[in-house]
Amino acid sequence: GKNEYDLLVIGGGSGGLACAKEAAQFGRKVAVLDYVDPSPQGTKWGLGGTCVNVGCIPKKLMHQAALLGNALKDAQHYGWNISQPVHHTWSVMAQAVQNYVKSLNWGHRVQLQDKKVKYFHMKGSFSDPHTIRGLTKAGKETIVTAENIVIATGGRPKYPTHIAGALEYGITSDDLFWLKESPGKTLPVYCPFILHLSGLIVCISLTDTSPDVSLECAGFLTGIGLDTTVMMRSIPLRGFDQQMASLVTEHMESYGTKFLKRCFPTKVEKLESNRLQVTWKNTDLGTEEGDSFDTVMWAVGRAPDTETLNLETVGVKTNSETGKIIVDASEATSVPHIYAVGDITEGRPELTPTAIAAGKLLARRLFGQSSELMDYDNVPTTVFTPLEYGCVGLSEEAAVQRYGSDNIEVYHAYYKPLEFTVAERDATQCYMKMVCLREREQRILGLHFIGPNAGEVIQGFALGIKCGATYRQLMKTVGIHPTCAEEITKLHITKRSGLDATVTGC
Amino acid sequence: GSGGLAGARRAAELGARVALVEPRRFGGTCVSPWSWGADGAPTGGGRETRTGTFIHDHADYGFQTPSVKFNWRTIKEKRDAYVRRLNEIYENNLKKAHIDIIRGYGKFTADPQPTIEVDGKKYTAPHILIATGGRPAIPPDSEIPGASLGITSDGFFDLEELPRRSVIVGAGYIAVEIAGILSTLGSKSALLIRQDAVVLRTFDSLISSNCTQELENIGVDVWKHTKVKTVTKTPCGLLDVTVTSSVPGHKPTEGVIRDVDCLLWAVGREPNTEDLCLDLVGVQVDDKGHVVVDEYQNSTRRGIYAVGDVCGRALLTPVAIAAGRKLAHRLFEGKQDSRLDYHNIPTVVFSHPPIGTVGLTEDEAVAMHGKENVKIYNTSFTPLYYAVTQRKVKCVMKLVCAGKEEKVVGLHMQGVGCDEMLQGFAVAIKMGATKADLDNTVAIHPTSAEELVTLR
């Protein structure tokens, strides 16, 4: 018989919703299935996916809270009389953030309704290439058929299950943003009169595949006054430019985040006080160490959410190592009429805007007579650590690898944001560099910027680089004064020259 | 200042023998605490008030802040110290470059070859650069009795205390910025716009109307179609400012703003050219006194050039610096075509929230290309920052595109972060970016900037 829907999307996150809504614009019959399995700690949330509920949005808001904490310290220098230290109340922030996220959940529900997209609050799995079996929480079953199916179920944080106590006692980013009480506070059981107000938290990153999550979380936790430690086995921000990565972590260290480098945990145990005892191996010294914390948070990577989809039944191929769905340049899987977008797909960046763009373009190709494919080159991104890092294009290492160090020119500068001066803030890690081809026009291959508002700074330059900007063209642009962004248009010291790259003034 | 120092240093780097005449501290308008940044940057002032506005949000983000008070003296001392450090750095830079420093006021003589006289001593050179900048204008007492009882932006940083009651006269970006600072720091402020109902008349209409609204939102009392009639000093030493409001279609009304601590004139700037004796060397000035120059910064006398605010075009530090450097390359490196392109110069106004703008306004684009060839993209939203705060300040953005390929000819925005956002877009617009290029650029999430690459 005829399929019920033109398009069925499994997964109501950034990619899935964008695809569904775009398809509906073409007058198609579209449905979305969304369902959130509770985390091992029991956390769950509404429609909108990772970004809205346990990713970008709550993260940026809590990062903002931490920045405000710093601003309060700066304010003194600017003449504001505020008695220090100022205290932060987690529950006030958390409630405000959680309420906002809930309003977004609601907004998404309304949007789907407005665009006449059918919404099923169900967990979907394949029965055959055009049939999905949806299950509600109560176990009620619904069969849905569709001409085209898009898998956009995203991913969930991994647990290092081989470490004793990891699953039982640790949380992940899924849980952090929904905590009602501060992670620095251990719930008192035996000692009801003891309250740890500035408690100890550990963020652990083992394999560095989502190291930005652990750094971002550690960053804002430190910023709101919690004693925070990051344990990492090898390098921070793997895949990012390593010089920039170390500047970012250096800054965090100088601001109070503790780092246990080249260490990995071996077990987590619960103490009588209800705190957690973590034991780890220090690979540098070859010793075993331990300490107790209120909260242990794992940020060891994300796993694609494919387990219960029944992909084998319909023959959708996945990458044997990562488990992610293999797609071609048009987001098609190995099965006709089945596509995938977003974090679930192999080889794509795990970012909201690329999922949204890919989802929209897919809908336009399916229903709008478009042939435009998603361009994954020069995707800009920003890591929202206390001192933000924005970048677009190639890292210096990648450029060297691709073109050879003789064929690239790296312009760089250490600068001081004007607002740091009066506040007497250390600007040692405020740094930027531009990686260009060395030949005549000097096309820009990559741009890296550490400083306040990095996200806002980089967006426009990403556009320029998309248009093929060269060093020459950048230099022709008049700077805006005084801003941090203008320093990019003033870059002129090369790494090759060996000269001091500190900005001296007009 | 910005133009003179940049030009001198670049010339010296290229091997020229350079002398610099300066009577006061090094750095000029941009840097000096005794005058105003013509580019609209109150050195540090913008940031202290930004901190002030954000303090109101701290409670919403979970911080327990008891009542907060502002101390003007603290910031004044720090700011003055920082500026003094900058003055020293500039002086050192000149010495390191082996540039001769001549202290005093220079003026041209009647000698056959262009010659500068400073305190009785004469100096000559095949190339002379005028970069004397400008100063704030103040109406004469003959025009407005008591006008001299007010101060200008020059006097602003001399203030020892925050004024309790301020009246700012003007509708340009200097007036807007100062009004914003004073109001946010706790001074009861009024802004008087003489001709119009909006500030920033020469900016895109979206910006003029939005900025005027935002001034009112932060508590500035905006008086439209209002000019100052007289200013008198009361027995207790404060000022009474008598004003006339002429709303179109209504009879003019008169009013008095009483007990004003600070009356600040921000009604324009004048070039510092009257004492240069330019007529002796045939250097032409316009009716306002600006040195007339061509695209290459040549004045009407061979061998004499001018850059920066004294020329009256694009009164911005980076423009003066760029023009000064381009000139040095033209004169001392033989780069005959070296000059600054004055199109698509980006600029920011440090209002609350800040404004970023580059290129043509909508009206200018329509006049140049015809209405049918201009497409406008607009957006207005509340930035994520305000998701959890009581106070909400929206961000507005407008993209002006021309022609079939929808080339971006103008970008205008006001909102938190717009100051840092603009620079990269300015690069792309200078390169000729089209709407399609913006659409093809992946967004960075979550930011405000991403709204520009996802406009519908």
* Residue A241 lies inside a defined structural domain of this protein: yes
Residues 80-99 of chain A whose Cβ lies under 8 A from any Cβ of chain B: 80-83, 86-94, 96-97, 99
Q: Give mean pLDDT, residues A490-498.
A: 94
- Neighbouring C-alpha atoms within 13 Å toward the C-beta of B55: 25
Do the domain assignments include residue A38?
A: yes
Distance from CA of B171 to the nearest CA of A (A): 21
Question: What is the C-alpha to C-alpha distance for residues A53 and B69, in angstroms, rounded to an integer?
Answer: 37
* Residue A265 and residue A398 in one domain: no
Burial B328-346 (b: 16+ CB within 10 A, else e): bbbbbeeeeebbbeeebbb
Residue in A388, A444, A459, A490 to test binding to B, most B beta-carbons within 10 Å? A459
Task: Give B262→chain A minimum CA distance, Å.
Answer: 20
Looking at the structure, tell me whether residues A281 and A174 fall in a common domain: yes
Whether B445 and A351 lie within 8 Å, measured CB to CB: yes
Residue A239 pLDDT exceeds 60: yes
Write the CATH number for A479: 3.30.390.30
Q: What does the pLDDT read at residue B158?
A: 83
- Catalytic: which of A87, A251, A481, A492? A481
Cα separation, B25 vs B8, in Å, equals 16
Q: Which residues contact residue B286 at a Cβ distance below 8 angstroms, ignoring those fewer than 6 apart?
A: B292, B312
On whether both A288 and A326 belong to a single domain, the answer is no
SS3 of A82-142: the string is: CCCCCEECHHHHHHHHHHHHHHHHHHHHHHHHHCCCEEECCEEEEEECCEEEEECCCCCEE
Phi, psi (degrees; rounded to nearest 5) at A393:
85, -155
Task: List the single residue in B51, B423, B443 with the smallest CB-CB distance to A80.
Answer: B51
Contact B339, B365 (CB under 8 A): no
Same domain, A280 and A420: no
Distance CA B290, CA B313 (A): 9
What is the ipTM score, two decimals?
0.85
Structural domain ending residue among the three candidates A276, A300, A324: A300
Of B342, B348, B343, B455, the C-alpha closest to B406 is: B455
Angle at B398 between CA B395 and CA B403, to 5 degrees: 165
- Domain annotation covers residue A377: no
The tally of domains found in chain A comes to: 3
Instruction: Give the SS3 label for residue A269.
Output: strand
Which one of A418, A434, A478 makes the best mutation probe of the B interface by having the most chain B beta carbons within 10 Å? A478
Q: Determine, for residues B384 and A57 on separate chains, whether the beta-carbon distance falls below 8 Å.
A: yes
B393 Cα to chain A: minimum distance (Å):
16
User: Per residue in B127-143, pLDDT tens?
Assistant: 999 999 999 999 999 99
Whether A407 and A438 share a structural domain: yes
pLDDT of residue B41 exceeding 50, the answer is: no
Q: Mutating which of B416, B445, B454 best tests the A interface, going by the most A Cβ atoms within 10 A?
A: B445
**What's the confidence (pLDDT) of residue A46?**
96
Sequence-distant (6+) residues with CB within 8 A of A154 are A11, A13, A15, A49, A50, A304, A305, A342, A343, A344
Residue A242 lies in a domain: yes
Asked if A421 lies within 8 A of B347 by C-beta distance, the reply is: no
Q: Are B262 and B167 within 8 A, CB to CB?
A: yes
Q: Which of A339, A368, A397 is the last residue of a domain?
A: A368
Residues in chain B: 456
Positions of B marked catalytic: 445
Instruction: Say whether B348 and A483 touch across the interface (CB within 8 A).
Output: yes
- My answer on whether A174 and A32 are in the same domain is no
Nearest CA to CA, how far is A469 from chain B (Å)?
Answer: 8
Residue of A479, A446, A471, A482 lying closest to A242 (CA atoms): A446
Distance, CA of A91 to CA of B99 (rounded, Å): 61
Q: Please identify, among A300, A323, A345, the residue that sits at the C-terminal boundary of a domain.
A: A300
Question: Which residue range(s) make up the domain with A449?
Answer: 387-497
What pLDDT is stored for residue A233 in this prediction?
A: 84
Which run of H or of E encompasses A81? Answer: strand A80-81
A404 and A464 belong to one structural domain:
yes
- Token digits for B210? 């939005």
Distance CA A73, CA A255 (A): 12
- Do A23 and A135 share a domain, yes or no? yes
CA–CA distance, A224 with A185 (Å, rounded to integer): 13
CB contact under 8 A, B423 and A461: yes
- CB-based contact A90:A96 (threshold 8 Å): no
The half-sphere exposure of B291 on its side-chain side, counting CA atoms within 13 A, is: 33
B27, B31, B447 ranked by CB distance to A455: nearest? B447
Banded pLDDT at A205 (limits 50, 70, 90): low
CA distance A49 to A13: 4
Q: Is B144 among the annotated ligand-binding positions?
A: no
- Give the three-class secondary structure for B433: coil
Residue A378 lies in a domain: no
Question: How does residue A14 score in pLDDT terms, banded at 50, 70 and 90?
Answer: very high
CATH of the domain at A294: 3.50.50.60
Report pLDDT for A410: 98
Task: Name residue A276's beta-bridge partners.
Answer: A270, A293
Do residues A121 and A36 make contact, with C-beta atoms less than 8 angstroms apart?
no
- Look at A466 and B39 and tell me if their CB atoms are within 8 Å: no
Provide the 10 A C-beta neighbour count for residue B52.
21
Does B420 appear as a known binding residue?
no
Chain B residues whose beta carbon lies within 8 Å of the beta carbon of residue A93 = 61-62, 388
Question: Is the per-residue pLDDT at B374 higher than 70?
Answer: yes
Using pLDDT thresholds of 50, 70 and 90, give the confidence band for residue A200.
low
Q: Which of A56, A93, A477 sits opposite B61 (nearest CB)?
A: A93
Mean pLDDT within B24-52: 57
Confidence at residue A190, expressed as pLDDT on a 0 to 100 scale:
36
Q: Are A441 and A472 in contact (CB under 8 A)?
A: yes
Q: Is the pLDDT of residue A184 over 60?
A: yes
Q: Choose among A419, A455, A479: nearest Cβ to B449.
A: A455
Contact residues, chain B, for A57 at CB < 8 Å: 384, 387, 446
- A150 and A14 in one domain? yes
3-state class (DSSP) for residue B205: helix
State what percent of residues in chain A have pLDDT above 70.
94
Return d(Cα B224, Cα B169) in angstroms, integer.
Answer: 11
**Average of pLDDT values for A355-366?**
97
| Confidence label for B59 from pLDDT (cuts 50, 70 and 90) | confident
Between helix A56-77 and helix A90-114 the angle, nearest 10°, is 140
Structural contact between residues A351 and A381, judged by C-beta atoms closer than 8 angstroms: yes
For residue B72, the chain A residues in CB contact (below 8 A) are 79
Q: Mean pLDDT across the stretch B62-90?
A: 84
Whether residue A374 lies inside any domain: the answer is no
Residues of B in contact with A97 (CB under 8 A): 387-388
Is A373 within the bounds of a domain?
Answer: no
Burial class (CB in 10 A: 0-12, 13-18, 19+), A114: exposed
Helix (H) or strand (E) holding B248: none
Residue A202 has pLDDT above 80, yes or no: no
The angle subtended at Cα B90 by Cα B84 and Cα B94, nearest 5°, is 145
Query: How confident is the model over A466-491, as a mean pLDDT?
Result: 93
With 70 as the cut, is the pLDDT of residue A206 above it? no
Q: Which tokens is B66 given? A: 């008891």
In Å, what is the CA distance from A140 to each residue of A44, A122, A145, A479? 20, 9, 17, 62
List the single residue in A75, A380, A421 with the smallest CB-CB distance to B82: A421
Sheet holding B355-359, edge to edge: B347-349, B355-359, B407-414, B395-402, B374-381
Percent of chain B's residues with pLDDT above 90: 83
Q: Is A481 a catalytic residue?
A: yes
Distance from CA of A127 to the nearest CA of B (A): 35
| Annotated binding residue B377 | no
Do A165 and A289 lie in a common domain? yes
CA–CA separation, B366 and B401 (whole Å)? 10
| Residues of A whose CB is below 8 A from B58 | 68, 72, 86
Question: Judging by beta carbons within 10 Å of its beta carbon (0-12, 13-18, 19+), is residue A337 exposed, middle or buried?
Answer: middle
Interface test with B, best of A481, A484, A500 (most B CBs within 10 A): A481
Rounded to whole angstroms, the Cα distance separating B317 from B427 reads 18
A131 and A211, same domain (yes or no): no
Q: Which of A154-158, A365-369, B80-84 has the lowest mean pLDDT?
A: B80-84
Give the Cα-Cα-Cα angle B362, B363, B364 (nearest 5 degrees): 90
Determine what percent of chain A is predicted with pLDDT higher than 90. 75
In this prediction, residue A317 carries a pLDDT of 97
Is residue A182 in some structural domain? yes
Q: Give me the pLDDT at residue B188, please.
A: 96
| CA–CA min distance B232, chain A (Å) | 32
Distance to chain B for A207, nearest Cα, Å:
24
If you measure CA to CA, which chain A residue comes closest to B338? A476
Are residues A349 and A230 both part of a single domain?
no
Please state the rounded mean pLDDT for residues A189-195: 36
Distance of CA A307 to the CA centre of its chain: 22
Q: Please give the pLDDT value at position A176.
A: 93
Contacts of B422 in chain A (CB under 8 A): 460, 480, 483, 485
- The model's pLDDT over B93-130, given as tens digits with 9 standing for 90+, comes to 999 999 999 999 999 999 999 999 999 999 999 999 99
The answer for A 446-505 residues in CB contact with B (under 8 A) is 452-453, 455-464, 466-469, 473-474, 476-486, 488-489, 504-505
- pLDDT tens digit string along A253-307? 999 999 888 888 999 999 988 889 999 999 999 999 999 899 999 888 899 999 9
* Cβ–Cβ < 8 Å for A473, A463: no
DSSP A351: -
Question: Which residues 197-216 of A have a C-beta within 8 angstroms of B?
Answer: none
A458/B432 CB distance under 8 A: no
Given a contact cutoff of 8 angstroms between Cβ atoms, the answer to whether A248 and A383 are in contact is yes
Where do the domains of chain B lie, and which CATH numbers do they carry?
Answer: 2-134+269-333 (3.50.50.60), 139-266 (3.50.50.60), 353-453 (3.30.390.30)
**Which residue in chain B is spatially nearest to A474 when comparing CA positions?**
B427
pLDDT at A187: 45
